[in-house]
């Protein structure tokens, strides 16, 4: 191979432009492969679904064809969107409330050992009660408005974040703690420069779970008692045997959930730029 003249050395790495271009091209190809393969699989499954519905002459109220679902998605988008808004607000407020409370409580737990020993078992116990069981209690307590849905979404977010945040704040490299002592760092400095930073990867994995579960919480809350929202629309469509609308509603709900998840992932990549050592 003829020697490239575009070489430079940065910090021990020899930079060869031709080699670098080839490396980048391979990386790009692998990336596209990673994107296109799932897309192809989805299209394949949709075609199979559509083929099965047509071939076996399945009645639309049992299982509609993807074409019928798309038609409803377009024709009744106004209704779908109008019902998405309250669910999105409930999920988002619940997400904020639940995670804020979890982070605050985790901070208290890390500073006051007694508080953790007293309340952590209770938190775990409440967490073992299924959402569908907690939901009616909250509806009775908070009424028929948005409040119980926000509360359910918050509760569902709260526990994974609490557990992960406590772990993230505590699982600090013991030598790093000793280093902070040698440096005579104040407890405040240890918390912000060491514990908080250390907890971020743990926090974001909890927040990503919370992003999708908060939507589930809001929907479950709407099932118990509501006239609007994705959950209410699911119930109405089911009872009316409007199966294409049911499917369309589910698609709208999941799309929102996925977008919320993606948004948190995007923020994570902005905040946690370093590779987690134990990830």
- Which residues of this protein are in contact with another protein, per CB under 8 A? 10-12, 173, 175-176, 178-186, 189, 193-194, 197-198, 200, 272-277
| Tokens representing residue 239 in the block | 């009872």
In the complex, minimum distance from the CB of residue 14 to another protein, in angstroms, rounded to a whole number: 13
- Which bin fits 54, alpha (ψ -120 to 50), beta or left (φ > 0)? alpha
| Tokens representing residue 223 in the block | 């099932």
Q: Give the integer Cα–Cα distance in Å for 226 and 96.
A: 22
In the complex, minimum distance from the CB of residue 176 to another protein, in angstroms, rounded to a whole number: 5
Q: Give the integer Cα–Cα distance in Å for 90 and 49.
A: 33
Closer by beta carbon to another protein, 69 or else 207: 207
In the complex, minimum distance from the CB of residue 178 to another protein, in angstroms, rounded to a whole number: 6
In the complex, minimum distance from the CB of residue 15 to another protein, in angstroms, rounded to a whole number: 12
**Count helices and strands in the chain by DSSP H and E runs:** 11, 2
Q: Give the integer Cα–Cα distance in Å for 35 and 184.
A: 49
Whether residue 162 contacts residue 110, with contact meaning beta carbons closer than 8 Å, is answered with no
Closer by beta carbon to another protein, 71 or else 167: 167
Closest-CA residue to 50 (of 37, 68, 38, 62): 68
Q: How many CA atoms lie within 13 A of 230 on its CB side?
A: 27
In the complex, minimum distance from the CB of residue 201 to another protein, in angstroms, rounded to a whole number: 9
Closer by beta carbon to another protein, 117 or else 189: 189
Closer by beta carbon to another protein, 198 or else 243: 198
In the complex, minimum distance from the CB of residue 132 to another protein, in angstroms, rounded to a whole number: 40
| Other Cβ atoms within 10 Å of 81 Cβ, number | 11
In the complex, minimum distance from the CB of residue 56 to another protein, in angstroms, rounded to a whole number: 54
Closer by beta carbon to another protein, 134 or else 195: 195
Contacts of 258 (CB under 8 A, 6+ apart): 212
Whether residue 105 contacts residue 163, with contact meaning beta carbons closer than 8 Å, is answered with no
Closer by beta carbon to another protein, 117 or else 178: 178
Closer by beta carbon to another protein, 33 or else 270: 270
């Amino acid at each position: 191979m003829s020697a490239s003249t575009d070489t430079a050395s940065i910090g021990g790495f020899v930079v060869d432009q031709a080699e670098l271009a080839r490396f980048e091209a391979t990386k790009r190809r692998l990336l596209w492969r990673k994107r296109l393969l799932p897309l192809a699989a989805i299209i394949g499954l949709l075609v199979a679904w559509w083929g099965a519905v047509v071939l076996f002459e399945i009645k639309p109220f049992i299982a509609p064809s993807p074409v019928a679902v798309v038609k409803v998605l377009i024709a009744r988008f106004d209704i779908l969107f109008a019902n998405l808004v309250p669910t999105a607000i409930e999920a988002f407020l619940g997400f904020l409330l639940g995670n804020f409370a979890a982070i605050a409580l985790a901070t208290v737990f890390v500073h006051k050992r007694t508080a953790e020993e007293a309340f952590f078992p209770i938190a775990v116990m409440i967490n073992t009660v299924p959402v569908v069981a907690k939901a009616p209690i909250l509806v009775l307590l908070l009424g028929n408005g948005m409040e119980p849905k926000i509360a359910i979404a918050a509760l569902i977010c709260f526990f994974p974040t609490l557990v992960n945040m406590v772990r993230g704040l505590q699982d600090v490299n013991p030598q790093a703690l000793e280093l902070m002592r040698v440096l005579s760092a104040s407890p405040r400095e240890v918390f912000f420069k060491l514990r908080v930073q250390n907890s971020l990867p743990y926090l974001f994995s909890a927040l990503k779970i919370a992003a999708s579960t908060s939507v589930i919480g809001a929907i479950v809350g709407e099932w118990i008692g509501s006239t609007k929202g994705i959950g209410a629309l699911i119930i109405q469509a089911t009872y009316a045997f409007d199966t294409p609308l049911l499917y369309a509603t589910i698609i709208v709900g999941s799309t929102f959930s996925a977008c919320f998840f993606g948004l948190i992932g995007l923020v994570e990549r902005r905040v946690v730029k370093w590779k987690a050592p134990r990830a």
